[in-house]
């Protein structure tokens, strides 16, 4: 799924059944970079944000509460989505 479509879907409140690969692609589209991996957890950092972002895969899907955390960070720090690569 392309980044803008996924962002629109999340903004409408549809957090269920988002594939983990789509979620990590969206996170990277906002400028986050993978800092480390610990089991099923992926820890992302952003050069302009002091907070860490944690995403966890469960049966290939991203956890809804972690997607909501991503949206809160995007709003709080006015992050811009990069174009799809």
pLDDT per residue over 59-75, tens digit each?
Answer: 999 999 999 999 999 99
CATH topology of domain 3-77: Metal Transport, Frataxin; Chain A (3.30.920)
| Lookup result for tokens 């956890």 | 63
pLDDT for 14-59, tens place per residue?
999 999 999 999 999 999 999 999 988 999 999 999 999 999 999 9
Residue extents of the structural domains in the chain: 3-77
Confidence of residue 85 (pLDDT cuts 50, 70, 90): low
What local confidence, expressed as pLDDT, does residue 82 receive? Answer: 86
User: If pLDDT is split at 50, 70 and 90, which confidence band does 1 have?
Assistant: confident
């Amino acid at each position: 799924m392309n980044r803008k479509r996924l962002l629109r879907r999340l903004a409408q409140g549809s957090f269920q059944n988002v594939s983990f690969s789509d979620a990590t692609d969206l996170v990277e589209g906002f400028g986050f970079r993978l800092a480390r991996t610990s089991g099923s957890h992926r820890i992302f950092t952003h050069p302009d944000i002091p907070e860490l972002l944690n995403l966890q895969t469960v049966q290939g899907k991203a956890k809804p509460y972690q997607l909501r955390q991503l949206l809160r960070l995007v709003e709080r720090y006015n992050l811009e989505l990069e174009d799809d690569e």
